[in-house]
Amino acid sequence: MSKPSKTSPAKPSALPGDPSHEEAVSRIVRVNQAGEYGAKRIYEGQLAVLGGTDAEPILREMLDQELEHLERFDQELVDRKVRPTALQPLWHFAGFALGAGTALLGKDAAMACTVAVEEVIDEHYAAQTEELGDSEPGLKTTIEQFRADEQHHRDVGLNEGAENAPAYPVLTGAIKAGSRLAIWLSTRV
Ligand SMILES: [Fe+2]
Ligand SMILES: [Fe+2]
């Protein structure tokens, strides 16, 4: 039986100066390992402040998923021989400071931090699956699965009172801007 013909448009060919496919995949793995590391540090910072409160089980569940995500991208770095971001020490402190700092403002602000960060990660992972197209199906499936987890974290944040945080639009706007900058830097440095 002949295969049904596909009418999806051809992908545009690479432009001069575009990173090679391998370099593009290396960048994806590098930035995702950095992002998952930052997420782990954010939740650790929040737990340092909110451990022992009713927020602890919620934060611990999200941290556990971030640890699974990180473990997977740590392994991808090794398997693909990709160097990690040089900025990991910065994300070690910045992630923890962001988590602890928002938690010090209260549980609602901690949840607002989660909503802001996870919305940016959701966009970021969506862009990556688009970029990968039909190449790297295994990596793409991983990103899609993790993206669903991050959307769940965002929803948890919203259900747990994120929008009651003081100055919610300003707070989330600042955290989103910082997260986008961190992504931009970790893709390149
Ligand atoms: Fe994650
Ligand atoms: Fe997450």
Token digits of residue 77? 């770095």
Q: Which pLDDT does position 141 carry in this prediction?
A: 96
Q: If you compute the radius of gyration of the chain from its CA atoms, what whole number of angstroms results?
A: 18
- The CA 39 to ligand 2 mean position distance, Å, reads 6
Confidence of residue 6 (pLDDT cuts 50, 70, 90): very low
Q: Which of 160, 142, 139, 180 is nearest to 61 (CA)?
A: 160
Instruction: Kindly state the percentage of the chain with pLDDT values over 70.
Output: 90
- The CA 153 to ligand 1 mean position distance, Å, reads 9
- The CA 5 to ligand 2 mean position distance, Å, reads 39
Q: Which pLDDT does position 5 carry in this prediction?
A: 47
The residue count of the chain comes to 189
- The CA 110 to ligand 2 mean position distance, Å, reads 13
pLDDT tens for 31-41 read: 999 999 999 99
Distance CA 143, CA 124 (A): 10
Global pTM reads 0.86
pLDDT tens for 78-130 read: 999 999 999 999 999 999 999 999 999 999 999 999 999 999 999 999 999 99
- The CA 55 to ligand 2 mean position distance, Å, reads 16
Q: Which pLDDT does position 22 carry in this prediction?
A: 87
pLDDT tens for 63-90 read: 999 999 999 999 999 999 999 999 999 9
